[in-house]
Structure 1
Amino acid sequence: MSLYPDSNPPSPGSNQVIHYAMQLLALAILLVWCFYILEPFLIPMIWAAVFASTFFPIHEKLTEKYGWKNGLSATFITLAALLILIVPAVFFMIAGAGELKELFQNIRDHELEIPNPNEKVKEWPIVGERLYDFWANASTNLTLTIQEHQDQLKPILLKLVALLRNTATGILLLMISIIISGVMLAYEREESDFARKLFGKLGGKQGEELAGVAKQTVQNVVKGILGVAAIQTTLVGIGLILAGIPFAGLWIILSLILAIVQIGILPISIGVIIYIWSTAGGTTAVILTIWMILVGLLDNVLKPIFLGKGASVPMLVVFLGAIGGFLHAGFIGLFTGAIVLTVGYKFGVAWINSTK
């Protein structure tokens, strides 16, 4: 007697489809489970991969040209990176937090003194009169001025405090990522082989090429965006400290953040130039103004050089990917956005040029 009186018995092919579907479902569940387990470490691991890729040329030179062992080279690079990147960042962070605390304390104790504005401020176009009146009121009675504009000032101050707190968290994350990147450098050969095999499985011969493209893109973004931002911030810091600008540490931190997010240091430069001409004037004001303008223009020269150096795609593709990625996913999007758009561009060009 048939077990399927009203229909045909299932064919062997349908059983295979169910079998493969169950396997794919089990694999998907396993991958999602693994993702949730690794999610707390995902951002530090991505940053570590970025740093490892950036430090690799130095590691390669130390191991191949000078004969250092992998472990020794990775340890040296890690310690050097911590010394060069973390120590100054912590120093400026502590200085900025201390200056901000001092600012709040002086405001609370009515001890903050603001110099009277220069009469020439009135002659500035559009904002001259209003800026002069606000500045004059603040220099005469700062407490009353703050009370009158507390609705506008309070959100700014809260955002400033939140910015410093997030910066401190970022520095800690940066330190952890650099340490992990040292471990990655020590096992660089095994990781490179794994990356080539993975990209090869996903995209064949072109996939292996894309592994190298992704690595080059990360290095270019680090040099073209983070590197240029670090250079600009360092030069800004030198100018502010030598000119004796108050709360220099705080302005240096803000300059670094604005440079990384591609707003640029123009807002800081304008404020500094206004302050120096209104208080000091003379040679100091002229030199600092020229210095801030030159530093502000520096990224227009360095960025195209670093972003496009050695890249197999136009510099504009890398730049748009980095900025779009940042707007979509924050700092880590600087790298993921550039890589995704670069890979997409390569696939697009290959498809357009294909003869089949």
Structure 2
Amino acid sequence: MYPNPAPSSSGSNHVIHYALQLLALAILLVWCFNILTPFLIPLLWGAVFASSFFPIHEKLIGKYGWKNSLSATFITLIALSVLIVPAVFFMIAGAGEIKELAEGIRDGDLKIPPPNEQIKSWPLIGERAFAFWTEASTNLTLTIQEHQDQLKPLLLKLVALLKNTAGGVLLLMISIIISGIMLAYEKEESDFARKFLVKLAGRKGEDMAGVAKQTVQNVVKGILGVAAIQTTFVGIGLLVADIPFAGLWIILSLILAIVQIGILPVSIGVIIYIWTTGDSVTATILTIWMLVVGLMDNVLKPIFLGKGASVPMLVVFLGAIGGFIYSGFIGLFTGAIVLTLAYKLGEEWLNSGTQREG
């Protein structure tokens, strides 16, 4: 029997050397992450836009022979005009309405029309709603003073929501510009993403890159696109019918549509208001309009999402709400996309493992 050889000092040195390398790499990654943290949301949103605009970019380059930079610039300008101009219009309208509401409450000039007698017949809340509405229409200032503890937090939340929305619109504008730059360098970015995912996930990495790209496009078109279309039509109906504080209801409709609750709560409130205060013709037309707009997602989502591209609505809901809590208004969009993407990639990974075992 020969004695066991003493452990090699060179082996220990190698372990220490690798450990120091990993430590230095971890420090470098954390450092880079902290530096890039202020830009993560616009970069992420820019990547989402770039992925969504890529089919148009590809067609302009391949079919019509446009230069890469010209196509990216054209798409960026169109996106800014289509997405930002309506958003800014609704923001200005919402801000003006909040200012008007605050000034009316302060000066005592705000008037509420008296309620319709039919409100008494509503189940459970009819009598109480009629009494409160009557009190508010008779002496709004006194009503506000009596209920200021309940109303003040609500008004503060509306102002905070408007500020978050304004910040989201600005962030959206920056993100669209970033997406144009990404489109201009699309080939280099695609090669980098493909190499990174292949290095990270092996041969499946390239397939996962395709899944990620398709998922982002489906979510943007099938969830965010449908929400934007619905909200636009809601806005048209509210503005034409001259509904008070239309800007606020439009913003609320957009949020409800994104989180998959739908515009039904806004539609119910608007329909009740128009039938109790407006003429029957306007009320009938607006009711039909809101019902049709509310059913639009049943037609548009299957068209935009395509077969087999849907995910559980709970995933979208949690992503949108969690994103909103984490990063404000823009998180409604990025949260839904990131969580949906993670779900699809996880599903792809689990299915690939099952197929390999089979």
Task: Name the TM-score class by shorter chain.
Answer: over 0.9
- Paired with 1:135 and 1:327, the residues of 2 have a C-alpha distance of 32
Q: Which amino acid aligns with 1:329?
A: G
Give the structure 2 partner of residue 3 of structure 1.
none
1:78-227 matches, within 5 Å, as: 78-227=76-225
1:182-331 matches, within 5 Å, as: 182-307=180-305, 309=306, 314-317=309-312, 319-330=313-324, 331=331
- Paired with 1:229 and 1:182, the residues of 2 have a C-alpha distance of 23
- Contact 2:46–2:175 (Cα < 8 Å) also in 1: yes
Percent same amino acid among aligned pairs? 70
- Contact 2:119–2:127 (Cα < 8 Å) also in 1: yes
- Paired with 1:316 and 1:92, the residues of 2 have a C-alpha distance of 30
SS of 1:245's equivalent?
coil
Give the structure 2 partner of residue 49 of structure 1.
47
After TM superposition, the structure 1 stretch with the greater mean CA deviation from structure 2, 259-268 or 165-174, is 259-268
- Contact 1:78–1:181 (Cα < 8 Å) also in 2: yes
SS of 2:203's equivalent?
helix
- Paired with 2:248 and 2:357, the residues of 1 have a C-alpha distance of 58
1:112, distance to aligned residue in structure 2 (A): 1.1
Alpha-carbon displacement from aligned partner over 1:299-342 (angstroms, at most 9, x marks no partner): 233224323x26xx65135x443333233333221111111111
- Contact 2:259–2:316 (Cα < 8 Å) also in 1: no
Give the structure 2 partner of residue 334 of structure 1.
336
- Paired with 2:66 and 2:96, the residues of 1 have a C-alpha distance of 42
SS of 2:357's equivalent?
coil
1:298, distance to aligned residue in structure 2 (A): 1.8
- Paired with 1:289 and 1:41, the residues of 2 have a C-alpha distance of 43
- Paired with 1:27 and 1:132, the residues of 2 have a C-alpha distance of 67
Give the structure 1 partner of residue 328 of structure 2.
none
Give the structure 2 partner of residue 350 of structure 1.
352
Q: Which amino acid aligns with 1:215?
A: K
Q: Which amino acid aligns with 1:172?
A: L
After TM superposition, the structure 1 stretch with the greater mean CA deviation from structure 2, 35-44 or 260-269, is 260-269
- Paired with 2:6 and 2:192, the residues of 1 have a C-alpha distance of 48
- Paired with 2:123 and 2:321, the residues of 1 have a C-alpha distance of 34
Q: Which amino acid aligns with 1:333?
A: G
- Paired with 2:295 and 2:146, the residues of 1 have a C-alpha distance of 37
Q: What is the RMSD computed on CA atoms of the aligned residues?
A: 1.6
Give the structure 2 partner of residue 18 of structure 1.
16
Q: Which amino acid aligns with 1:148?
A: E
- Paired with 2:202 and 2:43, the residues of 1 have a C-alpha distance of 26
After TM superposition, the structure 1 stretch with the greater mean CA deviation from structure 2, 223-232 or 160-169, is 223-232
Aligned residue-pair number: 346
- Paired with 2:234 and 2:210, the residues of 1 have a C-alpha distance of 35
Unaligned segments of structure 1, at least 5 residues: 1-6
- Contact 2:258–2:320 (Cα < 8 Å) also in 1: no
Alpha-carbon displacement from aligned partner over 1:211-258 (angstroms, at most 9, x marks no partner): 011011111111111101111111111111221212222221221122
Give the structure 2 partner of residue 4 of structure 1.
none
Q: Which amino acid aligns with 2:185?
A: Y
After TM superposition, the structure 1 stretch with the greater mean CA deviation from structure 2, 279-288 or 204-213, is 279-288
- Contact 1:320–1:338 (Cα < 8 Å) also in 2: no
Alpha-carbon displacement from aligned partner over 1:124-183 (angstroms, at most 9, x marks no partner): 111111111011001100001111111111111100000000000000000000001100
- Paired with 1:320 and 1:288, the residues of 2 have a C-alpha distance of 31
SS of 2:237's equivalent?
helix
TM-score normalised per structure 2: 0.93
Cα distance change on mapping 1:244 and 1:329 into 2, 3 Å: closer
